[in-house]
């Protein structure tokens, strides 16, 4: 069995080296012990710092690490591009994880070990058994809980945590939904999960190990609005009213609200 691990990376020069070494060191040991093959694919996403240079140098000495460069922004876009690249390879499982090492490699490995017969496995910070090494601020936790409440009520999805940055899918799942996943900014994970369920695949939510990173790039003031409008977009695109989105997207920019739907 082989797993492709996608890491979207936007201006991660301070952290990407440590993350890549931690993941490659861990999974190289797993490969020797259990035979699980792996590759790490970094999607360098519209970066303006030395992220690409660092990855290039590391990949020269570690052939299981590769990268592609894209100039269009957005985490969702970067992950979709990573999916497309991974689908061309020989693998059984395709997943993604944030580049900040908030999810340690052993937590991602737990997704591989526990996926079972499910179409996918998603890491959850809010399930019993999860280990939160550094807790979020109260404001970020309230924002996360509130967003998940909206997800559960608007999209009728049972998961406690759709936003944790570690998810894993069988290759056939990604292949079946790749043409339907939308770029919905902060609601990308929700759209991905929704499309997977809509295709009839089962997902398993798994307790994880997670650490909040102090130098996160989240704008706490702006992000809640973007997450809400992203969620609204997902709901409309999967309803009889999806024409509203097409109409909105065709409007001239000066008529659109600041937070796009």
Residue 171's contacts (CB-CB under 8 Å, 6 or more residues apart) are: 86, 87, 91, 92, 93, 94
Per DSSP bridges, beta strands 2-9 and 93-97 are: parallel
Q: What are the structure tokens assigned to 34, written together?
A: 């259990």
What pLDDT does residue 239 have?
Answer: 63
In a domain, 245, yes or no: no
- Which single residue is written with the structure tokens 């082989």? 2
Quote the CA–CA distance of 122 and 193 in Å, as a whole number. Answer: 9
Kindly report the CATH number assigned to the domain that includes residue 206.
3.90.550.10
Structural domain count of the chain: 1
What is the domain extent for residue 189?
A: 2-214
Domain assignment present for 249:
no
- Of 65-79, 90-104, 151-165, 217-231, the range with the lowest mean pLDDT is 217-231
Summarised one tens digit per residue, pLDDT across range 140-151 is 777 777 777 878
Is residue 239 one of the residues assigned to a domain? Answer: no
Give yes or no for residue 183 having a pLDDT over 80. no
Residue 220 lies in a domain: no
Does the residue 200 lie in any domain?
yes
pLDDT in tens, 194-236: 899 999 999 999 999 999 876 555 555 555 666 666 666 666 6
With respect to residue 139, please indicate whether it lies within any of the assigned structural domains: yes
pLDDT at 258 over 50: no
Percentage of the chain beyond pLDDT 90 is 62
Could you give the CA distance from residue 15 to residue 133 in angstroms, rounded to a whole number? 18
pLDDT band for position 254 (50/70/90)? Answer: very low
Long-range contacts of 141-147 (CB under 8 A, 24+ apart): 143/220, 143/223, 143/224, 143/227, 146/224, 147/224, 147/227, 147/228, 147/231
Report residue 82 as tokens: 């990573």
Whether the pLDDT of residue 79 is over 80: the answer is yes
Q: What is the pLDDT of residue 225?
A: 61
Neighbours of 140 (CB within 10 A): 15
State residue 197's pLDDT score.
93
Over the stretch 111-134, which tens digit does the pLDDT of each residue have? 999 999 999 999 999 999 999 988
pTM: 0.84
Is 169 a domain residue?
Answer: yes
Q: Is 230 within a domain?
A: no
DSSP code of 20? H
C-alpha 113/C-alpha 3 separation (Å) is 11
């Amino acid at each position: 069995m082989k797993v492709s691990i996608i890491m979207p990376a936007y201006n991660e020069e301070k952290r990407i080296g440590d993350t890549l070494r931690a993941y490659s060191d861990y999974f190289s040991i797993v490969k020797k012990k259990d035979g699980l093959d792996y590759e790490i694919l970094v999607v360098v996403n519209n970066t303006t710092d030395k992220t690409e240079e660092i990855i290039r140098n590391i990949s020269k000495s570690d052939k299981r690490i590769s990268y592609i460069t894209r100039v269009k922004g957005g985490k969702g876009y970067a992950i979709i591009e990573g999916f497309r690249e991974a689908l061309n390879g020989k693998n059984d499982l395709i997943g993604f994880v944030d580049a900040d090492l908030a999810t340690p490699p052993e937590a991602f490995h737990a997704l591989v070990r526990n996926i079972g017969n499910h179409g996918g496995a998603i890491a959850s910070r809010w399930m019993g058994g999860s280990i939160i090494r550094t807790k979020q601020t109260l404001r970020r936790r309230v924002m996360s809980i509130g967003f998940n409440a909206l997800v559960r009520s608007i999209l009728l999805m049972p998961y406690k945590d759709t936003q944790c940055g570690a998810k894993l899918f069988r290759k056939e799942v990604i292949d079946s939904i790749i043409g339907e996943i939308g770029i919905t900014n902060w609601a990308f994970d929700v759209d991905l999960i929704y499309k997977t369920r809509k295709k009839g695949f089962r997902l398993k939510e798994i307790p994880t190990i997670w650490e909040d990173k102090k130098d996160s790039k989240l704008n706490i003031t702006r992000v809640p609005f973007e997450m809400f409008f992203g969620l609204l977009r997902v709901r409309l695109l999967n309803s009889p009213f999806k024409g509203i989105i097409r109409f909105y997207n065709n409007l001239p920019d000066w008529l659109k609200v600041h937070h796009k739907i």
